[in-house]
Amino acid sequence: MPHRWPTRRAVRVWERNLTVFRKYSLPSLIGPSIGEPLLYLLGLGFGLGTLVGTVGGLRYVEFVAPGMVMSSTMFAAAYECTYGAYVRMIHQRTYEAIITTPLSLEDVVAGDILWGASKGAFNGTVMLAVVGLFGLAPSPWTLAVPVIIALLAVLFACLSQVVAALAKSFEFFNYYLTLVITPMFLFCGVFFPLESLPRWAQGLARFLPLTYAVEATRALMRGRPSAQALLPILWLVPPTIVAFLLAARLVRRRLIH
Amino acid sequence: MPSVAISASRLTKRFGDRVAVDGVDFDVEVGECFGLLGPNGAGKTTTVRMIHAFTPITAGDLVVLGLRVDDEPVAVKRRLGVVPQEENLDPDLTPWENLMVFARYFDIPRAEARRRAADLLEFVGLTSRAASPLDELSGGMKRRLLIARALLNQPELLILDEPTTGLDPQARHLVWQRLRALKAQGVTQVLTTHYMDEAAQLCDRVALMDAGRILRQGRPADLIRAEVGEEVIEIRGDEALHRAAVAALDGKSLRWERAGDTLYCYCADGRELLPALSTLKPAHLLHRPASLEDLFLKVAGRSLQE
């Protein structure tokens, strides 16, 4: 079967989700996706930081801040495109309702991914603003961080949509969050430099997209935007495309019969 | 303007080894209400899902509103409305918001969408519920809201998959009235149902489906008259009573059939048979016009197929 590409009509799905979100916005804003990284930043950065001292010449809270921005992006996109997408796709049959209109299933999947990515990007940007207010991102290069936020948000929205398309129930998402998202949160250079890991574990971390996003963000926020730190960001793009195509195909296989 | 809204020939859908729709042929004329009848699993839903470009066709031809569904699904979907079997309204939105959000999928401008949403809520009798939380609506109200939603794009063809399944009698009759009003406005309708009385109430023509095939199609009255006869007498009792009844009929019934505790006698005019049968004093004796249900049971058989 030839692949069908989404059209501009995908934006209609994004608008639909915004309409629903605006009715219930507050709980999801102060929910886990911003609240949790903020607590980590305060607890680990300022609390644990007094024990750790400096990492690579940075105060610990300065070291942790870029990872908090990236992980809040990752978590928000992941939650929205697992739990949120699953509810719309399976429980509420929203996808089936929408594809009786001129929108195709690929439009719906793309629109839902765009929405999850937007939530991720929004949360990441709010975290970035918080980090900036704490004076933890002194460089003007920090203004370029939203580009990385956007790339990471789209990637995790696509990956999570794949998981939602495969999930048999909500319990399935525990595996994903515990075995995929949490290890990235812990081992991608958010809390400690990759060099602290054994060599084989460093090699593994080099396969994980969050690693590059965190390193590039740290370089920008500290005002050291080298090609070596920034270019690896492009490695986020191929898995994004693969995950999107896979998500669209899996959703089609699941819903269309 | 073409007179044929849907033309299906050798239309087939296979899921792996299972044939859900097995080479069916039918036409639906503009302005008519066409019913697909049959038990669960007959292939009715799969057939309508192919019509509204949800399920891809395995083989055969399907032209809807002059367009091949395979080639132009978006253009087809733009011109039809779908009332699904399973309610899929947005539970977080009010009826009004449901309609306004759905209107965007058709690129209906906001002012026009507001006008249509107000008119349609009025049409389905939900104006006073426009701002209610969705979970405060009854099953019948939700079904009517689904009908309103399906009409937002002013479709030429309305597809209804079991429009009254699970509704109480009042709600059913309200839905039927709205559907007849739409037909009077010239909206072509295709509906699936396993309620034969619903088909009799609404459909100009029906196709009886079973196991993926169309067994009969035509006007309900013509089909009934041709295959069942005009009238039916039901006699309930034991086998001895049935035998006595058959003897009493003495060949005057066109056809008779036993099913469990009931003997069905199909005839042109039951009045001439009734005197002989009443002398047997059966506990239950019913003389009634023949129905689509009799026809269906005759052509599809009475045994339960699972």
Which residue in A has a C-alpha nearest to residue B49's C-alpha? Answer: A257
Q: In angstroms, rounded to a whole number, what is the distance separating the alpha carbons of residues A253 and B6?
A: 27
Structural contact between residues B253 and B277, judged by C-beta atoms closer than 8 angstroms: no
For A217-221, B17-21, B257-261, which range has the lowest pLDDT when averaged over its residues? B257-261
Mean pLDDT for B23-35 is 97
Tell me which long-range contacts B215-221 makes (C-beta under 8 A, separation of at least 24): B215/B299, B215/B300, B216/B295, B216/B299, B217/B26, B220/B292
Last residue of a domain, one of B157, B192, B217: B217
Q: At what angle do helices A32-40 and A105-133 cross, to 10 degrees?
A: 30
Q: Quick check: is B108 in a domain?
A: yes
Q: Quick check: is B303 in a domain?
A: no
pLDDT at A46 over 60: yes
Q: Which chain B residues have a beta carbon less than 8 Å from that of A257?
A: 15, 55
Q: How far is CA B138 from CA B102, B121, B240, in A?
A: 21, 15, 49
Q: Quick check: is B222 in a domain?
A: no
SS3 B290: coil
Tell me which long-range contacts B39-42 makes (C-beta under 8 A, separation of at least 24): B39/B194, B39/B210, B39/B300, B39/B305, B40/B194, B41/B211, B41/B305, B42/B209, B42/B210, B42/B211, B42/B212
Partners of B67 in the β-ladder: B64
For A96, the closest of B74, B84, B97 (CB atoms) is B84
Helix (H) or strand (E) holding B272: none
pLDDT over 70 percentage in chain B: 97
Strand order in the sheet with B188-193: B80-83, B157-161, B188-193, B33-37, B205-210, B213-218
Same domain, B235 and B115: no
Same domain, B246 and B213: no
Which residues are CB-neighbours of B217 under 8 A, at least 6 positions away? Answer: B26, B205, B206, B207, B208, B223
Task: Write down the pLDDT at residue A1.
Answer: 42
Q: Does the distance separating the beta carbons of B86 and A100 come in below 8 Å?
A: no
pLDDT band at B158 (very low <50, low <70, confident <90, very high): very high
Same domain, B53 and B82: yes
For A19, the closest of B74, B82, B97 (CB atoms) is B97
Residue written as token pair 């495309």: A241
pLDDT at B134 over 80: yes
Q: pLDDT, tens digit, for every residue of A133-182? A: 999 999 999 999 999 999 999 999 999 999 999 999 999 999 999 999 99
Does A25 touch chain B if contact means CB atoms closer than 8 Å?
Answer: no
Same domain, B209 and B233: no
Helix (H) or strand (E) holding B4: strand B4-15
Q: In angstroms, rounded to a whole number, what is the distance separating the alpha carbons of residues B114 and B118?
A: 6
Mean pLDDT for B17-30 is 96
Does B89 touch chain A if contact means CB atoms closer than 8 Å?
Answer: yes
Q: Quick check: is B166 in a domain?
A: yes
- Strand pairing class (B18-29; B4-15): antiparallel
Average pLDDT, chain B: 92
pLDDT over 90 percentage in chain B: 70
Domain of B191, CATH number, reads 3.40.50.300
Mean pLDDT for A184-195 is 92
Structural contact between residues A232 and A209, judged by C-beta atoms closer than 8 angstroms: no
Task: Write down the pLDDT at residue B272.
Answer: 82
pLDDT at A3 over 60: no
Q: In angstroms, rounded to a whole number, what is the distance separating the alpha carbons of residues A205 and A215?
A: 12
Which residues are CB-neighbours of B261 under 8 A, at least 6 positions away? Answer: B236, B237, B238
Structural contact between residues A142 and A222, judged by C-beta atoms closer than 8 angstroms: no
Burial of B38 (0-12, 13-18, 19+ CB in 10 A): buried
Q: Quick check: is B124 in a domain?
A: yes
Q: In angstroms, rounded to a whole number, what is the distance separating the alpha carbons of residues B274 and B272?
A: 6
Mean pLDDT for B87-94 is 95
Paired tokens of A44: 């680990």
Task: Write down the pLDDT at residue B148.
Answer: 97
Does B96 touch chain A if contact means CB atoms closer than 8 Å?
Answer: no
Same domain, B247 and B208: no
Task: Write down the pLDDT at residue A98.
Answer: 97
pLDDT at B305 over 70: no
Does B306 touch chain A if contact means CB atoms closer than 8 Å?
Answer: no
* Highest-pLDDT range among A25-34, A201-210, A229-238, B96-105: B96-105
Q: Quick check: is B298 in a domain?
A: no
Does B130 touch chain A if contact means CB atoms closer than 8 Å?
Answer: no
Domain of B268, CATH number, reads 3.30.70.260
Does B78 touch chain A if contact means CB atoms closer than 8 Å?
Answer: yes
Does A72 touch chain B if contact means CB atoms closer than 8 Å?
Answer: no
Q: Which chain A residues have a beta carbon less than 8 Å from that of B74?
A: 102, 104
* Highest-pLDDT range among A30-34, A179-183, B241-245: A179-183
Task: Write down the pLDDT at residue A2.
Answer: 44
Q: Does the distance separating the beta carbons of B15 and A104 come in below 8 Å?
A: no
pLDDT at A41 over 50: yes
Domain range for B246: 229-289
pLDDT band at B306 (very low <50, low <70, confident <90, very high): very low
Burial of B250 (0-12, 13-18, 19+ CB in 10 A): exposed
Residue written as token pair 């009798």: B125
Does A12 touch chain B if contact means CB atoms closer than 8 Å?
Answer: yes
pLDDT band at B271 (very low <50, low <70, confident <90, very high): confident
SS3 B118: helix
Helix segments in chain A, DSSP class H: 10-23, 25-29, 32-40, 49-52, 60-79, 85-86, 94-98, 105-133, 145-166, 171-176, 182-187, 199-205, 209-221, 227-230, 237-255
CA distance to partner chain B, nearest, from residue A41 (Å)? 34
Structural contact between residues A243 and A162, judged by C-beta atoms closer than 8 angstroms: yes
Last residue of a domain, one of B217, B248, B277: B217
Q: pLDDT, tens digit, for every residue of A57-95? A: 899 999 999 999 999 999 999 999 999 999 999 999 999
Mean pLDDT for A202-211 is 92
Q: pLDDT, tens digit, for every residue of B194-232? A: 888 899 889 999 999 999 999 999 999 999 998 888 899
Task: Write down the pLDDT at residue B270.
Answer: 83
Q: Does the distance separating the beta carbons of B54 and A103 come in below 8 Å?
A: no
Which of B80, B85, B104, B147 is the best mutation test for A, with the most CBs of A within 10 A? B104
Paired tokens of A42: 């305060």
For A22-26, B6-10, B128-132, B161-165, which range has the lowest pLDDT when averaged over its residues? A22-26
Q: Does the distance separating the beta carbons of B56 and A256 come in below 8 Å?
A: yes
Does B84 touch chain A if contact means CB atoms closer than 8 Å?
Answer: yes
Same domain, B243 and B190: no
pLDDT band at A31 (very low <50, low <70, confident <90, very high): low
pLDDT band at B248 (very low <50, low <70, confident <90, very high): confident
Q: Quick check: is B48 in a domain?
A: yes
What's the structural domain count of chain B? Answer: 2
Q: Quick check: is B300 in a domain?
A: no
